[in-house]
Amino acid sequence: MLTKIGDKWTIFVVLSLDLLGGRARFSELERAVPGISQRMLSSTLKNLERDGMVIREVFPEVPPRVEYEMTELGRRLLHPTQGLVDWAKENWEQVREAQSRYDER
């Protein structure tokens, strides 16, 4: 479970879905998560759906409309994730400086 949550894209998708109000279409998520491919976003959403973090709802329209909604389980992931986000905001400059020093060697 931790390897899934800690993969490259899951946290970004969950946070983006939250920022979009907890419910979004695929294209909205794709725009909200820079650098993610359609294939990776699709795979990440399928994993989140399988794990009970999001619900996928297909509307009977032409063209088809699909929305993803965060479940209560998914919302509960936000609290521990927020600590990591806060740490990143507070320390990103120090990390960049350390990277620069390392790269100069």
pLDDT digits (tens, 9 = 90+) for 48-101: 999 999 999 999 999 889 999 999 999 999 888 888 888 988 999 999 999 999
- Helix, strand, or coil (residue 55): strand
Distance CA 34, CA 49 (A): 21
pLDDT (tens digit per residue) in 7-49: 889 999 999 999 999 999 999 999 999 999 999 999 999 999 9
58 strand-pairing partners: 66
66's enclosing H/E stretch is: strand 65-70
Average pLDDT, the chain: 92
* pLDDT for the residue 39: 98
CATH classification number, 2-104, choose in 1.10.10.10, 3.30.70.2860, 3.30.360.10, 3.40.228.10: 1.10.10.10
